């Protein structure tokens, strides 16, 4: 590895006769040597100390956009931080704070950190994203080694590079932001948090105008950054084992190991964000919160294995219910309030974990609650809710029954006294679809889905929504 380092410095310094293929070869083998067989600490400190500064300068100047070189440099920094310590000769020759400043002051830093958003618009190759991932990993390693690197002025770029997803880069960026907060940076000045290109634009304006003239983002602006379809994918692939408080050593866990997808949103960022948006002193647009899909993700978090994640979700639901009591411009607030009451009354113990099938059903109900295009009730008729209830028989008396409703209405009622362990129940619902009657067979899941543990209450469910 030392031979690769010295050879690379000689090639980079020779500007007239540079052999890029040979440089790539040296970087590749140097990285492999650092990963497979690292040098002994004393030998590394003695041999590398004299050429460490020159190696870093030459490497950053010539291979700043090379992800393999950044990975190699990251391995060397790990050895310096974890094994040698600040008293070593290598650390004295070039402190981590100086190295961190060298990386941030490079001319390509902003382009790489904001490359992901640009690549989506210009269809660039994935190389910029790979470089960004390696660069973020290197920055995280340096900050973990020395918290003095953290400065509030760095937050604008970090929020601009963040995407709020479960990708490897975004998870490390979130961990990096948490380290900045733990180091004393004033994160409250950036609340409510924004991310992506909008964050760079918004926070740059704040810096130019000053805190007295700057208007903080509204809830509609923050929630508008979330894509509804991506929020729904997060519900369907919710990372159940994702912890709300990520330890410094656990900066990254693959999305597939969490049972999710890299493109899904990270609930570790969403839950604190939602908690701030629905705080008692905030102006909350309840309809926007429900319509965008934020309520669905919050309900899905009730199935998380992490008690802190479930507690954060319960706090968001509680605060939202308080805002609904004073909301007057939200015609469907009673339906949403009833749904939240069902959830609250079903919590037999504090911070109870919901079954995934129940939380997904709740999220689906919240998602479709404001979409009146799904509703097929004939409002012109004189049928009331009670008349619709009459044609739906009670299924609590028998466990092996087959129910058929021949009414043309698209609603049916089931009793919430059904036990969760009910098996063998099938329901056949006739619903109107394009002028013809569509027959839908549902097996065991239906009684389980609609049971929330609240006795002597009825739940109104529209079949044309969640049976499709």
Phi, psi of 326 (to 5 degrees): -105, 0
pLDDT tens column, 304-359:
999 999 999 999 999 999 999 988 888 888 989 999 999 999 888 888 999 999 99
Domain boundaries, the chain: 219-370, 378-466
- Give the confidence band of 83 by pLDDT, cuts at 50, 70, 90: low
* % of the chain exceeding 90 in pLDDT: 44
More confident of the two residues 87 and 254: 254
pLDDT of residue 431: 31
pLDDT of residue 7: 85
Q: Is residue 428 scored above 90 in pLDDT?
A: no
More confident of the two residues 254 and 389: 254
More confident of the two residues 418 and 3: 3
Lowest mean pLDDT among 84-98, 139-153, 167-181: 84-98
Cα 65 from chain centre: 27
Lowest mean pLDDT among 10-19, 57-66, 387-396: 387-396
More confident of the two residues 66 and 126: 66
* % of the chain exceeding 70 in pLDDT: 72
pLDDT tens column, 5-46:
888 888 888 777 778 888 888 988 888 887 776 655 666 667
Burial letters for 155-181: b for 16+ Cβ neighbours within 10 Å, e otherwise? bbbbbbbbbbbbbbbbbbbbbbbbbbe
More confident of the two residues 446 and 104: 104
Cβ distance 191 to 216 under 8 Å?
yes
pLDDT of residue 325: 92
What's the whole-number average pLDDT of the chain? 76
Q: Is residue 417 scored above 90 in pLDDT?
A: no
Q: What is the pTM of this model?
A: 0.77
- Give the confidence band of 129 by pLDDT, cuts at 50, 70, 90: confident
- Give the confidence band of 298 by pLDDT, cuts at 50, 70, 90: very high
Q: Is residue 195 scored above 90 in pLDDT?
A: yes
pLDDT of residue 37: 61
């Amino acid at each position: 590895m030392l031979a690769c380092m010295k050879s690379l410095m000689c090639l980079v310094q020779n500007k007239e006769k540079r052999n890029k293929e040979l440089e790539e070869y040296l970087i590749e083998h140097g990285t492999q040597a650092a990963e497979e067989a690292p040098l002994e600490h004393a030998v590394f400190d003695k041999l590398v100390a004299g050429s460490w500064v020159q190696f870093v300068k030459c490497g950053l100047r010539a291979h700043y956009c090379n992800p393999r070189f950044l990975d190699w440099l990251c391995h060397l920094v790990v050895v310096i931080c974890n094994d040698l310590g600040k008293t070593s000769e290598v650390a004295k020759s070039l402190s981590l704070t100086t190295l961190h400043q060298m990386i941030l002051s490079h001319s390509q830093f902003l382009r790489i950190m904001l490359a992901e958003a640009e690549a989506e618009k210009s269809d660039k190759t994935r190389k910029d994203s790979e470089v960004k991932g390696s660069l973020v990993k290197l920055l995280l390693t340096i900050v973990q080694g020395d918290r003095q690197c953290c400065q509030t002025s760095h937050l604008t770029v970090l929020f601009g590079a963040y995407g709020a997803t479960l990708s490897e880069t975004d998870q490390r960026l979130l961990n990096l932001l948490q380290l900045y907060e733990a180091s004393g940076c004033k994160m409250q000045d950036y609340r409510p948090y924004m991310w992506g290109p909008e964050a760079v634009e918004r926070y740059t304006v704040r810096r130019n105008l000053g805190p007295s003239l700057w208007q903080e983002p509204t809830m509609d602006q923050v929630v508008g950054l979330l894509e509804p379809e991506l929020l729904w994918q997060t519900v369907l692939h919710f990372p159940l084992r994702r912890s709300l408080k990520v330890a410094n050593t656990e900066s990254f866990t693959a999305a597939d190991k969490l049972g999710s997808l890299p493109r899904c949103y990270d609930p570790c960022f969403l839950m604190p964000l939602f908690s701030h948006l629905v705080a008692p002193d905030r102006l909350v647009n309840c309809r926007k919160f429900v319509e965008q899909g934020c309520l669905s993700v919050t309900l899905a978090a009730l199935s998380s294995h992490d008690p802190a994640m479930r507690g954060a979700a319960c706090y968001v639901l509680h605060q939202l219910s308080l805002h609904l009591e004073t909301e007057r411009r939200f015609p469907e607030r009673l339906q949403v309030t009833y749904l939240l009451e069902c959830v609250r009354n079903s919590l037999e113990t504090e911070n109870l974990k919901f079954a995934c099938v129940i939380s997904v059903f709740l999220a689906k109900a919240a998602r479709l609650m404001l979409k009146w295009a799904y509703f097929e009730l004939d409002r012109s008729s004189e049928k009331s809710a009670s008349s619709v209830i009459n044609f739906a028989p009670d299924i609590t008396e028998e466990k092996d029954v087959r129910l058929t409703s021949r009414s043309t209405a698209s609603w049916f009622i089931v009793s919430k006294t059904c036990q969760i362990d009910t098996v063998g129940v099938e329901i056949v619902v006739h619903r109107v679809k394009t002028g013809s009657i569509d027959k839908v067979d549902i097996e065991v899941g239906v009684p389980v889905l609609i049971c929330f543990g609240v006795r002597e209450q009825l739940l109104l469910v529209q079949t044309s929504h969640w049976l499709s």
